[in-house]
Amino acid sequence: MSLSPSVDRPRLVRLHATDNVGVVVNDRGVAAGTALGDGLVALEAIPPSHKVALEPITEGAAVRRYGEVIGWARRDLPAGSWVKEADLDLPTPPTLDSLPKSTAVPAPGEPLEGYTFEGYRNADGSVGTRNLLGITTTVQCVTGVLEHAVKRIRTELLPRYPHVDDVVALTHSFGCGVAFDSKDVQIPIRTVRNLARNPNLGGQALVVGLGCEMLRPEQIVDREGAGADLGDSGLYRLQESQTGFAGMIEQILAMAQRRLEILDRRRRETCPASALVLGMQCGGSDAFSGITANPALGFASDLLVRAGATVMFSEVTEVRDAAHLLTARSETEAVAQALIDEMEWYDRYLERGQSDRSANTSPGNKAGGLSNIVEKALGATVKSGTSAIRAVIGPGERAQGNGLQFCATPAGDFVCGTLQLAAGMNLHVFTTGRGTPYGLAMAPVIKVSTRTDLARRWPDLIDIDAGRIATGERTVLELGWELFHYYLDVASGRKKPWAEVHRLHNDLVLFNPAPLT
Amino acid sequence: MSLSPSVDRPRLVRLHATDNVGVVVNDRGVAAGTALGDGLVALEAIPPSHKVALEPITEGAAVRRYGEVIGWARRDLPAGSWVKEADLDLPTPPTLDSLPKSTAVPAPGEPLEGYTFEGYRNADGSVGTRNLLGITTTVQCVTGVLEHAVKRIRTELLPRYPHVDDVVALTHSFGCGVAFDSKDVQIPIRTVRNLARNPNLGGQALVVGLGCEMLRPEQIVDREGAGADLGDSGLYRLQESQTGFAGMIEQILAMAQRRLEILDRRRRETCPASALVLGMQCGGSDAFSGITANPALGFASDLLVRAGATVMFSEVTEVRDAAHLLTARSETEAVAQALIDEMEWYDRYLERGQSDRSANTSPGNKAGGLSNIVEKALGATVKSGTSAIRAVIGPGERAQGNGLQFCATPAGDFVCGTLQLAAGMNLHVFTTGRGTPYGLAMAPVIKVSTRTDLARRWPDLIDIDAGRIATGERTVLELGWELFHYYLDVASGRKKPWAEVHRLHNDLVLFNPAPLT
């Protein structure tokens, strides 16, 4: 990656030697007539994070960024002109039946040893970065009662259990009124089951059900396995109440207290960095995402993989147009095929809804200089670093083993975050260009800004400013290491990201492709 | 409807002269050998609210309840035998292209005049039963921040505005990461728009957006119409914040305060009962639903229609098998056709998800004696009373005019409640057999139990016990009038149903048939 060496304006970023467009990284863009270096002059005003033609591009020719074709020129684009969405024809996506499989598997990096964090060890071998009392639900009917109970648990019980960080209600809109005969319904069912097993909940959440709902408690708690230590005392159905609302609250509080006694005896222990399960995501992206924050995440991801950790990247529609790069990087042909299968399933799912992947890009993405989903995909993929892809996790499934893994989720921030939590995520990192106050209750969320301007305006929301890469204050390598150390600090509870400080929690959103009835 | 006159056990209910099954309404069912009257003897133990053959039914013959075929006997069913789900073959649903249209339109009932309630008049002509500050959202990204702000509004601002009942955040998982090119996406968009205009929010909610999301504020607030008095001061986008999280909270609080000043000047005024917009729903249903609670709701519904009010019943899959009765009752052929169109759309929606209407019945329904969706549908339809159906409301649309209307929604409790709120509902009534603590933040919810046992066990959740119809303590007519008066009391704020007392609020659930991206 070539970065202009000076922090003086104007600044232009060209990511690959074959690119014929660069990105303006000045906070306010450049005026018409501005000299952009190497004899290039801006022919018109170009907004920040938008693209400029580095050389004359003739109508029909390829427009290249990240060394890849992001579109075909719809008109002649003289050198120095602003290259906008309307100037590009969308390339056809890679056909799924002709993708290269494991043709460019990167060699494993040198093992990175000796890095540790302080975590909570669970019976199933997983490690929590927080010690949370989780209470999950089989159906939305119980939410009002449970939220009432959770308020009382937080104010009346929690102060007596100082080693427990918080109580979390895993509420959702699934569980009844859904076509349980549809094959797709397995996705939300296994998501609810695996969310309840998230490492930050000590391995198993309590369960509050109603009694007559379609989703049965036995579908979400394996009483032989993770739920064994809960026994029947870890489940309560509201319809069992013989004394109304008061009786329900009393029973939930009693159940919570039994669990708090157990959780409060736990202490942090030194664990290898390999016990981290990091979920990576980007949201409110702009053209800086692929230049600053995502490359830094990619570098840190490679470090974590070398340290033996599990690192997940996600968002099927956001990597769909970079599928050929991912299948080539897949460790085995079976992994490449699993990736193709998930993408094929998603193509069909969108078709069924009379849609396609082009629906992904938001107005904010476009205002931020991302012309189309191809350009967005290439930038999004950068955060996966350069490691081999070791496994593919279906939506709602739990990750097995370590290394870099693709967790096949929709791209919406909260459904992706929810599915990464179900996969076992114990730490989350989120890059944003336009800015979002994203937070989750079940795992600490680290927010990385793509631009310094955002970090300056939102000092109490942005944890790490990757915009310093664009200004030349940091290299990708330096910021990658900074992130790596920050991950270990946050995982250990030594540092709290802003979302955790403010208790900014967005609701879980399940991915339910099955129809409502 | 024939009810056994005595409160002594055993009790059996036969609803129609042509029925060949009756329903056991004793709290504990009946033992084998119990004499059931008219020479009928129970051949086996029959659980409460389950069906008994009143006469011998031969294999292949029709099994009738509500005077309609609920199934075909799979085996010979001697008189006195328990008729279970496994004994019935599901009838094929009425074909939508051969339904009778407006062939049995009931004559209008005698107008019922002079009934009033105390409500809050809105500029658009609608009337609120509560005076709530509503704050809606364009996208889930803002939820964490908004909930933080709402807590502060409730504790710091509300005490200074005693005429405002509460503050409600209209949060949802829609707004971004959704296929905005799908035709179906109009359903959640109009739902969010119409929710913000609910009469209980003074006609228009404030809006908190992020800034880069797909759902634009102008899609959900009509600044020329209902939103005119808000001006630009009724909208805030978090990405406008120049001072981070602190600035966001400050701006939302300032906006809320401006709106609270206006809402606090409002007073209840005497309004005709015709200003009521009642939404009816049932959930956690059992075989008593169609005998006690739903008939009482039906009678009260007829009273409200005669008083000029708007009364909505819903749940497409729950009335699908009674479609022929509804199209015949439709006031005009156009209304009948609109009903058919909604059912046709829903059939296709389920097909697309490889499902059908039989997926509706829950395990709890079946344990409660409802053998299949046909029986459930006939019982559910009873709550619509006997009035002509004047209009059909598409999912997310706002009701126009008064009278009995079919609001075409899925049957899940919360998605149905949400769509009825979008239709303009200012009062909600909910019947339950198995028991559920259902509640909504935007409208008072009255809960009616189908059995006395439930009302006894849950005295602080059930507002009206319709089980008294089964015990002979009340007639359907008496309970219907009791409900009618209770509706007016609750609408006036003179009485508060239990869900409101406990602030039991379930989240809004949007109906989004479009795929996630």
Domain ranges of chain A: 12-92, 122-263, 271-501
Distance CA B316, CA A56 (A): 59
Q: What is the dihedral of CA A400, A405, A408, A414, to 10 degrees?
A: 90
Q: Is 50 exceeded by the pLDDT of residue B342?
A: yes
* pLDDT for B286: 82
Q: Report pLDDT for A4.
A: 41
Q: Would you call A213 and B505 a contact, using CB atoms and an 8 Å cutoff?
A: no
- Please judge whether B503 and A180 are an interchain contact, meaning their C-beta atoms are less than 8 angstroms apart: no
Integer angstrom CA distances of residue A16 from A26, A77, A315, A438, A512: 19, 19, 24, 32, 40
Helices (H), A307-451: 316-319, 323-329, 333-352, 363-367, 373-381, 413-422
Residue A173 to residue B414, Cβ atoms within 8 A = yes
Instruction: Name the residue among A340, A312, A315 with its Cα closest to residue A326.
Output: A340
The answer to whether A359 contacts B182, with C-beta atoms less than 8 Å apart, is yes
Q: Is B350–A515 a contact, with Cβ atoms under 8 angstroms apart?
A: yes
Ranges B216-230, B286-300, B427-441: which has the least confidence: B216-230
Identify whether the C-beta of residue B336 lies closer than 8 Å to the C-beta of residue B431: no
CA proximity to A202, closest of A116, A272, A261: A261
| CB contact (8 A) between residue A245 and residue B439 | no
Of the residues A49, A90, A139, A141, the best mutation for testing chain B's interface (the one with the most B CB atoms within 10 Å of its CB) is A141
Option in A178, A182, A461 nearest B244 (CB): A461
Are A178 and B412 inside 8 Å of each other by CB? yes
Q: Could you tell me where the DSSP H helices lie in B141-209?
A: 143-152, 186-196
Q: Please list the pLDDT of chain A residue by residue as tens digits (517 residues).
A: 334 433 445 788 887 888 999 988 887 889 999 999 889 999 999 998 899 999 999 999 999 998 889 999 999 999 999 999 899 998 887 789 999 999 999 999 999 999 999 999 999 999 999 999 999 999 999 999 999 999 999 999 999 999 999 999 999 999 999 999 888 999 999 999 999 999 999 989 999 999 999 999 989 887 666 566 666 679 999 999 999 999 999 999 999 999 999 999 999 999 999 999 999 999 888 888 888 999 999 999 999 999 999 999 999 998 888 899 999 999 999 999 999 999 999 999 999 888 876 666 777 777 777 778 888 888 889 999 999 999 999 999 999 999 999 999 999 999 999 999 999 999 999 999 999 999 999 999 999 999 999 999 999 999 999 999 998 899 999 999 999 999 999 999 999 999 999 999 999 999 999 999 8
The model's confidence at residue B399, banded by pLDDT at 50, 70 and 90, is very high
B10, pLDDT greater than 80: no
Closest A-chain CA to B457: A242
- The pLDDT value recorded for residue B350 is 92
Which residues in B lie closer than 8 A to residue A415 (C-beta atoms)?
Answer: 173, 177, 516
> Could you report the per-residue pLDDT of A30-65, keeping only the tens digit for each?
999 999 988 999 999 999 889 999 999 999 999 999
The model's confidence at residue B4, banded by pLDDT at 50, 70 and 90, is very low
Please name the residue of chain B whose CA is at the shortest distance from the CA of residue A175. Answer: B412
Digit-coded pLDDT (tens) for B366-384: 777 777 888 888 888 999 9
Beta partners for B428?
B279, B445
pLDDT at A342: 97
Minimal Cα distance from B142: which residue of A? A437
Q: What is the pLDDT of residue A228?
A: 61
Whether B360 has a pLDDT exceeding 80, the answer reads no
pTM: 0.92
| B185 in Cβ contact with B159 (< 8 Å) | no
How many contacts (CB atoms, under 8 Å) link A and B?
Answer: 265
Q: Which residue has the higher pLDDT, A457 or B283?
A: A457
Residue of A183, A211, A362 lying closest to B354 (CB–CB): A183
CB contact under 8 A, A458 and B244: yes
| Residue contact B412–A176, C-beta within 8 A | yes
**pLDDT digit string, tens, across residues B215-228:** 999 898 876 665 66
How far A514 CA sits from the closest chain B CA (Å)?
6
Q: Answer whether A507 sits within 8 Å of B171, measured CB to CB.
A: yes
The beta strand positions in B442-484, using DSSP E, are 445-449, 464-465
**Six-digit token string for A190:** 């296994």
| Inter-chain touch B352–A352, beta carbons under 8 Å | yes
Using an 8 Å CB-CB cutoff, list chain A residues near B238: 435-437
Q: Do B142 and A437 touch (CB under 8 A)?
A: yes
Higher pLDDT, A158 or B180: A158
Distance CA A95, CA A67 (A): 19
Chain A nearest-CA residue for B368: A212
Q: Nearest by CB to B141, from A436, A459, A498: name it.
A: A436
Longest dimension (CA), chain B: 82
Contact B148 A359 (CB under 8 A): no
Q: Do B213 and B178 contact (CB within 8 A), yes or no? A: no
Distance from CA of B208 to the nearest CA of A (A): 13
Q: Does domain B12-91 have CATH number 2.30.130.110?
A: yes
Of A180, A284, A504, the CB nearest to B144: A504
Q: Which residues is B34 bridged to in the sheet?
A: none
pLDDT at B269 over 60: yes
pLDDT at position A223, please?
A: 67
**Which residue's structure tokens are 């890679």?**
A94
Classify A38 in phi/psi space as left (phi over 0), alpha (psi -120 to 50) or beta: left
- Do residue A458 and residue B245 have CB atoms under 8 angstroms apart? yes
Structural fold of domain B128-263: Rossmann fold (3.40.50)
ipTM for the assembly: 0.91
The DSSP call for residue B122 is -
- At residue A49, the pLDDT reads 83
Highest CATH level, class, for A122-263: alpha beta
Q: Is the dihedral of CA B92, B97, B101, B103 positive or negative?
A: negative
Q: Which residues of A touch B506 (CB under 8 A)?
A: 140-141, 143-144
Asked if pLDDT for residue B1 goes beyond 50, the answer is no
Structure tokens at B115: 């009934």
* Closest CA in chain A for residue B440: A144
Distance from CA of B250 to the nearest CA of A (A): 14
Contacting residues for B256 by C-beta, under 8 A, at least 6 apart: B133, B135, B149, B153, B157, B167, B206
Instruction: Write phi, then psi, for B156 (nearest 5 degrees).
Output: -95, -35
- Residue in the block written with tokens 């009810």: B3
Give the Cα-Cα-Cα angle A275, A277, A280 (nearest 5 degrees). Answer: 150
CATH architecture of the domain covering A12-92: Roll (2.30)
Nearest to A144 among B243, B506, B513 (CB): B506
Cβ distance of B241 and A458 shorter than 8 Å: yes
Cα(A509)–Cα(A195) distance, rounded to whole angstroms? Answer: 11
CB A394, CB A406: distance < 8 Å: no
| Tokens at B293, concatenated | 């609670």
Helix axes B186-196, B413-422, angle to 10 degrees: 60
